[in-house]
Structure 1
Amino acid sequence: MIPRKPIFPGVIELNFQAGEVLGCNLYLVYDQDEWVLIDIGYEETVDDFINIIRELDFPLSQCKTLIATHADVDHIQGLAKAKQALKTSVTAHPNAVEPLQTGDKLKTLAEIEAQNLNLEMPPVEIEHQVSDGDIIRVGNLELEVWHTPGHTDSQLAFRMGDVLLSGDNIYRDGCIGAIDAHHGSDIKAFIGSLTRIRDSDVKWLAPSHGPIFAKDNAMLDRVIGRVEGYLHMADFGTLADGWPLMDQWDDEVAQGILPEGLQTPAS
């Protein structure tokens, strides 16, 4: 048995516990002998994480469920393997069920042809579906489920007291989860989720990548302002509301306007 290094009472982050980053953040939430694991990462690291859990003296048979924060391959590729090893169930948002149960490579971003990326995406049965406001009980602990869409349509966060296990919503450096139409991103929804986090009274954010950090409303204000700008940028294509430059171009074409200093050549 190795000493447990909880980051909060009842919460162990397995990369921090191991002293090395093996993949996305995995949160083991426990009370008494019962425990759940939030995300599992890639298939190749499943055995490493299970060995850590075993060395921490958590009974493998007492894993209540494996929880998917959302259906992106870097978070859930190892679900089928871990489920079989632990003989437990899988819990996810309803929007994650179809891509996880079918092993949808496109929506999980396991396959991006233009980047020559082609990962296996083993399908896995989802026994439990949770939505906003549901409670997941672990011993005497309660995880309040938040549906925080934007990065994906299935993104979940989990509140426990003054801690929010915040998924891919926001990171310490002010970055946010990737915005990509293929896996269900929605800029307006993202703004709503970030606003909800900012306006909450949680004190600590424990994201799915990178270090845990104290919630900083001034930083969140800056991020929300930046993301609001994405609604009017061609950078985000079909996910943007519009591109104001094209409205300006319509007017300039109709009025025959060229930039100052540039004149239409005489015919």
Structure 2
Amino acid sequence: MILKGIPVGPLGANCYVVGCEKTKEAVVIDPGGDVARIRMLLAEQGLSLKYIIDTHGHIDHIAANDDLREATGAKILIHEADSGMLGDSKLNLASFMGFSTTFKPADKLLTDGDFIEFGELKLEVLHTPGHTPGGISLKAEGAVFTGDTLFNGSIGRTDFPGGDFDTLINSIINKLLALPDDTNIYPGHNSQSTVEAERKFNPFLR
């Protein structure tokens, strides 16, 4: 598996490029801006983009959706419960940042338990609401991409529209901490961690 991560956009959200070493098919997770850098990373790795996956519908994770789709022909995927955020600047928080930005609809809506296949790889969709109603995490072999659900030593905010603290904690405990301890966590912001480290040291989960 090819895995590269870069911070993008004004809030430095983590954008991940995941590719199949054999077929060179790839996905981009959370293209929150800097489309030229994302395309350069794909080119450097010789990857062909199949899917753009939004872990949730906030602007710092979706800002390059339309530009990247137009440039590559890749399909945009988002959980069905967050699909309406793409076209609503209040829900996607663009208005919170002083913009009225909206985005075109996704090509496919995801639900819990779906598998996203590219090359010889696949990601399992784990519905992990709480930060947003349609927040998802993406499980790969030995890794999970958690968006803004779970961070290194912290958790996602729940004070935005659609957020709920109890729902978020339940998602983390029942979906993420249920994974093997040595599972690497690749969050939507800041540095990576492991399931074991978050279970032991995350102050919100003790």
> CA separation in 1, counterparts of 2:167 and 2:186?
20
In structure 2, the partner of 1:179 is 158
Is the partner of 1:159 in helix, strand or coil? Answer: strand
> CA separation in 2, counterparts of 1:120 and 1:84?
21
Q: Which protein has the bigger helix share? A: 1
In structure 2, the partner of 1:68 is 54
In structure 2, the partner of 1:57 is 46
Contact (CA 8 Å) 1:27, 1:38: kept in 2 or not?
Answer: yes
**Distance of aligned partners of 1:22 and 1:177 in 2 relative to their CA distance in 1, 3 Å threshold:** closer
Give deviations 1:51-102, integer Å, cap 9, x for gaps. Answer: 22223322xxx311111110001000221111111122110000121121x2
> CA separation in 1, counterparts of 2:169 and 2:127?
13
Contact (CA 8 Å) 2:24, 2:46: kept in 1 or not?
Answer: no
In structure 2, the partner of 1:143 is 123
> CA separation in 2, counterparts of 1:71 and 1:143?
19
Choose from 20, 35, 39 the match for 2:30: 39
In structure 2, the partner of 1:188 is 166
Matched, 1:13 2:2: no
Larger Cα Rg: Structure 1 or Structure 2? 1
Q: Which protein has the bigger strand share? A: 2
Matches for 1:1-267 after TM superposition, within 5 Å: 9-15=1-7, 23-31=12-20, 32-42=23-33, 45-58=34-47, 62-100=48-86, 102=87, 104-112=88-96, 117-172=97-152, 174-182=153-161, 184-196=162-174, 197-202=176-181, 203-215=183-195, 216=197, 217-220=199-202, 222-225=203-206
Contact (CA 8 Å) 1:99, 1:107: kept in 2 or not?
Answer: yes
- RMSD over aligned CA atoms reads 2.0
Contact (CA 8 Å) 2:185, 2:192: kept in 1 or not?
Answer: yes
Is the partner of 1:69 in helix, strand or coil? Answer: coil
Structure with more relative contact order (C-alpha pairs < 8 Å, separation 6 or more): 2
Task: State the AA in 2 paired with 1:14.
Answer: I
Contact (CA 8 Å) 1:36, 1:64: kept in 2 or not?
Answer: yes
Contact (CA 8 Å) 1:68, 1:91: kept in 2 or not?
Answer: yes
Task: State the AA in 1 paired with 2:143.
Answer: V
Question: Among the aligned pairs, what percent are the same residue?
Answer: 26
> CA separation in 2, counterparts of 1:85 and 1:136?
21
Is the partner of 1:95 in helix, strand or coil? Answer: helix
Q: How many residue pairs get matched?
A: 199
Structure 1 segments, 4+ long, off by >3 Å, are none
Contact (CA 8 Å) 1:146, 1:157: kept in 2 or not?
Answer: yes
Contact (CA 8 Å) 2:89, 2:101: kept in 1 or not?
Answer: yes
What is the CA-CA distance between 1:120 and the residue it aligns to?
4.2
TM-score (ref. length: structure 2)? 0.89
Structure 1 alignment gaps of length 5 or more: 1-8, 226-267
TM-score (ref. length: structure 1)? 0.69
